[in-house]
DNA sequence: TTTAAATGAATGAATGGCCATTCAGTAATT
DNA sequence: AATTACTGAATGGCCATTCATTCATTTAAA
């Protein structure tokens, strides 16, 4: 029953409540009840409601980012790197659905509303994709007419949207490998039949 | 100065205020001020605050969807169809940045919070992509190993994320054609150099 | 044609409910 | 006994919504 223990209990509870009701509809008392502490206790660990949300981002996203960065560090083939990125990201999102929901729905809001809050860990994270693409271009594996800044958005936007199947869809039965396979297939080779490919 | 006029003035004002502050931070009085009407007037045209947001979705998104459907109706080549879809969508988002912001940030929230509200127009809209892909597969232009349901998400997720450059990015200087060109290039032919393509 | 009544739109101040935050008091730990 | 951690009821501010009143326009009567 020490500081850190209660802190992370509140973080977990908050993630769950934010995921379920959204930040603005979440009551401090909901979070307190979920974490099995008194309302006031929350204010011993956080300054205010926003601070809880920011902490969810900083701490929970941070874990994922670190883990993926570590996996990437061991690989040099840009094709494999994108595969690792996609697979690990999807795994994380499937494993922690509450966090996924909060990232997908609340992070954008917050980035907009709190202009002076930039989740740098998250930006760094998405920027990884851009770096991988530049690397692949240098190695003459990826086309030079691909703009890495746009391609990053395409890859990451696609990744986020497909990861939503587990939170929103009726047909959330896809596996991580199926989805990441489809994403990589399309991102790397496109959807045209090979013989049609010369056209572009 | 009749009914419909004031109704749409409020819709436009609300879109602007929601885009700027987000739904939950938007005050009815903000919207009233922006629309140059009294607070109470808003309740002559809408039942409550949520009703305003829902109306924004229904009416404004509806216009875009109709317009794009119309453009698509004149085309039969699935490659061209995706091009039209992407280009028109990006054009709309670039033209009406407030609406874009509201769609990208508030629509998901609302879909989650109001379980019994499904923006069917919007689902129909994204489903168009799925249909186009199936069509292309039937015509032997698109690979059969692409899962249309996932591919739809990939395409649409990418499209939404790239369209955000105009709202969020410092480098929002890209043109619609540049971005849609990159998206189609990647989605159709992938990012691998042609000679590497056999690998997959 | 003028004047008066009726209708309906618009207003904005007042209400009431909600909930983040506080803090005086209680319990646990040293 | 003193310090630290926790509690949860009470406070105060905010804001969606209401509604008594005003204003504008139309209709009817004189």
pLDDT tier, B114 (very low <50, low <70, confident <90, very high otherwise):
confident
Nearest neighbour of A109 by CB, restricted to B22, B140, B147: B22
Cβ proximity of B45 and B10 under 8 Å: yes
Residue entry with tokens 């992370």 = A8
User: How many Å from the CA of B87 to C1' of D3?
Assistant: 67
At residue B100's C-alpha, the angle toward residues B99 and B104, to 5°, is: 120
Question: Rg (Cα) of chain A, in Å, rounded?
Answer: 19
DSSP state of B173: T
Cβ proximity of A182 and B146 under 8 Å: yes
For residue B146, which residues of chain A lie inside 8 Å, CB to CB? 182, 185-186, 191
pLDDT tier, B199 (very low <50, low <70, confident <90, very high otherwise):
very low
Q: Is the CB of A26 within 7 Å of strand C?
A: yes
For residue B115, which residues of chain A lie inside 8 Å, CB to CB? none
**Among the CATH numbers 3.40.50.80, 3.30.70.360, 1.10.357.10, 1.10.3720.10, which is that of B50-199?**
1.10.357.10
Q: Which residues contact B34 (CB under 8 A, 6 or more apart)?
A: B13, B14, B16, B17
Q: Is the CB of A25 within 7 Å of strand D?
A: no
Comparing B172 with A53, which gets the higher pLDDT? Answer: A53
* Domain range summary for chain B, segments of one domain joined by +: 1-46, 50-199
pLDDT at B156 over 60: yes
Residue nearest C19, CA–C1′ metric = A27
Q: What per-residue confidence (pLDDT) applies to A4? A: 65
Cβ proximity of B53 and B23 under 8 Å: yes
Q: What per-residue confidence (pLDDT) applies to A197? A: 58
Nucleotide nearest to B41 (CA to C1'): C10
pLDDT tens digits for range A8-29: 999 999 999 999 999 999 999 9
- Check B154 against A141: CB less than 8 A apart: no
- What are the start-end ranges of the E strands in chain B? none
- Check A156 against B161: CB less than 8 A apart: yes
Best B115, B191, B192, B193 residue to mutate vs chain A (most A CBs within 10 Å): B191
Q: What per-residue confidence (pLDDT) applies to B117? A: 77
- Check A190 against B193: CB less than 8 A apart: no
The CA–CA distances, whole Å, from B76 to B73, B81, B158 equal 8, 7, 23
Angle between helices A148-163 and A97-113 (to 10 degrees): 130
Q: Which residues contact B77 (CB under 8 A, 6 or more apart)?
A: none
Fold entry, domain A1-46:
Arc Repressor Mutant, subunit A (1.10.10)
Cβ proximity of A67 and A58 under 8 Å: no
Residue entry with tokens 């497909």 = A162
Q: Which of B84, B118, B102 is nearest to B20 (CA)?
A: B102
Q: Which of B74, B200, B175 is nearest to A194 (CA)?
A: B200
- Residue by residue, DSSP assigns B53-74 as HHHIIIIIIHHHHHHHHHHHHT
Nucleotide nearest to A39 (CA to C1'): D8
Nucleotide nearest to A30 (CA to C1'): C19
pLDDT at A122 over 60: yes
Q: What per-residue confidence (pLDDT) applies to B195? A: 65
A197 CA to chain B: closest CA distance, Å? 6
Q: What per-residue confidence (pLDDT) applies to B143? A: 94
- ipTM, interface predicted TM-score of the complex: 0.91
Residues 72-111 of A with CB under 7 A from strand D: none
Best A126, A127, A153, A165 residue to mutate vs chain B (most B CBs within 10 Å): A153
Nearest neighbour of B190 by CB, restricted to A24, A112, A186: A186
pLDDT tier, B2 (very low <50, low <70, confident <90, very high otherwise):
very low
Rounded CA gap, A137 and A129, in Å? 12
Fold entry, domain A55-199:
Tetracycline Repressor; domain 2 (1.10.357)
């Amino acid at each position: 029953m020490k500081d850190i223990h209660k802190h992370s209990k509140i973080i977990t509870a908050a993630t769950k409540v934010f995921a379920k009701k959204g930040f603005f509809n979440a009551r401090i008392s909901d979070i307190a009840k979920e974490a099995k502490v008194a309302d006031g206790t929350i204010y011993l660990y956080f300054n205010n409601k926003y601070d809880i949300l920011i902490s969810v981002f900083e701490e929970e996203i941070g874990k994922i980012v670190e883990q993926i960065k570590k996996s990437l560090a061991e690989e040099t083939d840009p094709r494999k790197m994108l595969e690792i990125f996609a697979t690990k990201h999807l795994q994380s999102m499937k494993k922690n659905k509450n966090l996924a929901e909060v990232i997908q729905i609340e992070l954008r809001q917050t980035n907009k509303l709190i202009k002076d809050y930039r989740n740098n860990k998250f930006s760094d994270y998405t920027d990884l994709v851009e770096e991988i693409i530049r690397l692949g271009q240098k190695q003459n594996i990826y086309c030079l007419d691909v703009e890495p800044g746009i391609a990053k958005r395409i890859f990451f936007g696609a990744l986020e949207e497909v990861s939503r199947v587990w939170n929103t869809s009726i047909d959330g039965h896809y596996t991580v490998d199926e989805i990441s396979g489809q994403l990589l297939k399309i991102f790397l080779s496109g959807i045209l039949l090979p013989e049609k490919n010369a056209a572009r």
